[in-house]
Amino acid sequence: MRDRHIDVALLNEATVPPPTPFVSAYSASGTEGLNRLASGELMPRAWSSVIASFEGTIDAVEPRARGMFDRRPEIPFRPSKPGVWIAGSVTAQGIGSVTCVSLYGLLDELSDASVHRSLSDLTPLLTDSDFRGRVVVGGDLNTTTAWREPSLRRRDQGVLDRFEALGLVDLLREKREPGPLAGCTCGLGERCEHTWTRLGRGKAPIQTDYLFASRDLVTRLKTCEALSPPDWREYSDHAPIIATFE
């Protein structure tokens, strides 16, 4: 990551505590799932969504949680399931404070339900005028619109539409080369806008990972690309998505 001059990384399923060459924000208790062991206890997971900063600190964020008619719902700003998402603000040179969210689509349940729940948790942040113009959200959402089954595709499209409704732009789609992803199973033909991010069980390339940013930040977006998943096989079955902002 140093070789590529990465300032901030959004990681999923990262071991806790993370290694120390960088400053990080994460759930110290790991990720709390919904699955239970035979004993009835929640299945423990020693990993978390993590924000890693290679330059400077990560500050806690506390949105004012204004709802309709400026009402402030008395709901704490935290993940319904600890470890599934983590938010923090970093200072980006020439831009100022940017709030980062590392978000994971936990598969204890169907992933669209998990991401919808997290988006409900995050709505106070994404609707707060102090934060919403400078937010970056990324991770393995376990969400894809390349399902062959139309009802599944529609459900996951609903997840992605919700990001858009909250003012976030899909950065890979914004910067991808025109033309369909070769071998994609979405069936959209020339209208396919997928990018290969994950080694699937079969041979077909699949996208389950996304990086979103506020519309205001997209005006500063220079590049966004997913590296080749086979090149990263040694480290993960997911490829990094790298975005650069001016």
Contacts (Cβ under 8 Å, ≥6 apart) of 48:
14, 16, 26, 27, 28, 30, 31, 82, 83, 86
Nearest approach in angstroms of CB 239 to Zn ion is 16
User: Residue 148's Cα: distance from chain center in Å?
Assistant: 24
The CA-based angle 23-138-44, given to 5 degrees, is: 70
Q: Which is nearer to Zn ion, 110 or 192 (CB)?
A: 192
For strands 209-214 and 135-140, give the pairing.
Answer: antiparallel
Q: Which is nearer to Zn ion, 106 or 184 (CB)?
A: 184
* Closest residue by Cα to residue 61 from 7, 106, 25, 29: 25
Nearest approach in angstroms of CB 153 to Zn ion is 10
Q: Which is nearer to Zn ion, 155 or 194 (CB)?
A: 194
Nearest approach in angstroms of CB 31 to Zn ion is 30
Nearest approach in angstroms of CB 180 to Zn ion is 6
Q: Which is nearer to Zn ion, 56 or 183 (CB)?
A: 183
What residues line the site for Zn ion (CB under 5 A)? 184, 186, 192, 194
